[in-house]
Structure 1
Amino acid sequence: MERTYCHTFYGFQDGSALAFFRFADPEDQKLFKTEVDFTPGRHIAFKVDQEVQESIRKRLADGGYQEPGTFVMDHSYCVSLYVTDPNGLMLEFVVDHPDVDEINAERRRTAHADLARWPGGDHTSNNDWR
């Protein structure tokens, strides 16, 4: 079952970002709300280049990691390698799309309108790169 959600990123001066997720269905939101238990909504993301991401992927495979403990997801605006570490923390290693500057400029241009339509029930994606 696909869950409909939006997430907003708040960029920091050093290039890192903080993301907040909101689900259209309150029951879906409950699935990711926990005091202690694991949820993929809580993870740490690191921006890397393609060479570093591939190196990490290879080392994970050589170390015996396989799905669901590690997987790649193409979000279209970036490609993410996810891995759950031995402590249960999910890590994400992100390679930006080659057109990241264009994508970011468009997201900044439409950010207020995109966020305003969400509470009104319009949950269509703003990701034209999918």
Structure 2
Amino acid sequence: MIKTKGINHIALVCRDMKETMHFYTEVLKMPLFKTVQLPDGGQHFFFDCGGGNSVAFFWWEDAPPAAPGIASVKKFPYDAKTAVGSMNHLAFDMEEDELEAAIERLQDAGVELTPAVFNHDDSPQGYSEDMHDGVFVRSVYFTDPNGIMLEFAATTKEFGPQDVAHEPATMEAG
């Protein structure tokens, strides 16, 4: 068995390292702890997102442009599909009592958020406007300056065997 301890970092690509650094250090309050100047002229910066985890960004002057609707979400929750092999969004774990303060901090910084907190549940639409016993995660979605969809997510219950109830889909004919 391979024994991992979790995710060390996720590496994303930004369009402007200075703008990205400002957003992650000043708005999200994630300390910058390592910078690398790459031999090809690019950069690789690492931000501490808590719990021993980090978010890293590459920057290259000649990076291909963003591809919303293919490599990133166009507009959540209305147009959230992305291509196979792409990253849909990055969710940061936080305590539920921190969620409201985080929302307020984002609003104060002028960050556009989803209209409301999503109470994720097992209903047909996947969320409820109201908090109830079936809610398993409460979250808010927003994007960084690169158009990367981010989520602040607070788990509200412990999971058990009853939470694994669906057969995996396949492209093969049934």
**TM, length-normalised to structure 1:** 0.49
The structure with the largest alpha-carbon Rg is 2
Name which structure has the greater RCO, CA cutoff 8 Å, separation 6+: 1
Between Structure 1 and Structure 2, the one with more helix by share is 1
